[in-house]
């Protein structure tokens, strides 16, 4: 499909050159400014596919500078000081077996009294990879252990091909926001064979570049993922060694 897109763009370029030449010839024949008419036609033909390129670049630069970043409201050490001895007791493998409603080789599901649904994903090595949660209000994400959860939200892209992505980690008991990360990236929705409104053919926007790359100073100390790694209590060498003796081991990155 990529070759088809490039072929179409090549054809469009040839048509554009022909149209500009035709407009210039018309201008000369009718005693009008060939330069003005030629550049005007070229601008219109450029804006048909690229009208949103400059606004997206400007919006991306502004948001990366002013709105993106990693924001810590409570460090892991501060949480430990306020909750002495608790961190050492937490584990992703502490699943509420009394609320289990479904079990399979690759997952187990638990329905908590407040309506929250937990899904524990287990791989072929019998390692617990991650635990998903979904609340009755529609919020969904991942449970690191009994106290910490994190979720992602995404907005856009719309007319401007810029997507906003936010990751938030919370204390599940107090609902306190511990940290969050906001990032922006140029992106398009859909594919060319879906709807043209999704602009899936605008391959120049399909990039993995983000504010994390262009403004690394906005994401100190490794950013969000380094922060949640410090909350993954199962991934300490001591906890991993202990888990080997008990059966299911939590898979760590």
Q: How far apart are CA 161 and CA 188, in angstroms?
A: 6
Copy the structure tokens of residue 218.
Answer: 């906005």
Average pLDDT over residues 203-222: 79
By residue range, what is the domain housing residue 65? 52-250
Q: What's the confidence (pLDDT) of residue 134?
A: 92
SS3 category, 144? coil
Cβ atoms 143, 132 nearer than 8 A:
yes
State the maximum Cα–Cα separation within the chain, in Å, rounded to a whole number: 90
Q: Does residue 90 sit in the same domain as residue 178?
A: yes
CB atoms within 10 A of CB 203: 14
In the chain, the number of structural domains is 2
Where are the alpha helices (H) located in 51-173, listed in sequence order?
Answer: 53-66, 76-82
Q: Are 39 and 141 found together in one domain?
A: no
Which of 31, 51, 71 is the C-terminal boundary of a domain? 51
Q: What is this structure's pTM?
A: 0.74
Same domain, 62 and 144: yes
Mean pLDDT of 70-92: 90
CA atoms within 13 A on the CB side of 125: 8
Q: Cis omega (within 30 of 0) on the bond before 157?
A: yes
Tokens of 35: 């330069």
Q: Which residue did the predictor score with more confidence, 73 or 27? A: 73
């Amino acid at each position: 499909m990529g070759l088809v897109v490039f072929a179409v763009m090549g054809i469009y370029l040839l048509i554009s050159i022909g149209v500009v030449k035709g407009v210039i010839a018309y201008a000369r024949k009718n005693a009008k400014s060939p330069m003005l008419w030629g550049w005007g036609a070229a601008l219109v033909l450029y804006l048909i596919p690229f009208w949103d390129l400059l606004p997206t670049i400007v919006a991306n630069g502004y948001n990366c500078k002013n709105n993106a970043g990693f924001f810590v409201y409570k460090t892991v050490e501060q949480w430990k000081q306020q909750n002495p001895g608790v961190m050492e007791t937490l584990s992703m493998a502490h699943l509420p077996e009394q609320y289990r409603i479904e079990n399979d080789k690759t997952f187990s599901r638990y329905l908590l009294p407040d309506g929250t649904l937990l899904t524990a994903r287990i791989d072929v090595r019998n390692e617990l990879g991650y635990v998903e949660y979904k609340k009755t209000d529609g919020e969904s994400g991942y449970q690191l252990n009994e106290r910490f959860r994190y979720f992602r939200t995404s907005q856009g892209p719309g007319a401007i091909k810029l997507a906003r992505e936010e990751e938030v980690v919370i204390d599940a008991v107090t609902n306190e926001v511990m940290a969050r990360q906001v990032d922006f990236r140029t992106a398009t929705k859909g594919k060319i064979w879906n709807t043209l409104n999704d602009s899936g053919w605008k391959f120049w926007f399909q990039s993995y570049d983000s504010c994390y790359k262009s403004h690394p100073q906005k994401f100190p100390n490794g950013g969000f993922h380094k922060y949640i790694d410090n909350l993954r209590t199962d991934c300490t060498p001591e906890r991993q060694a202990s888990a080997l003796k008990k059966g299911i081991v939590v898979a760590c990155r």
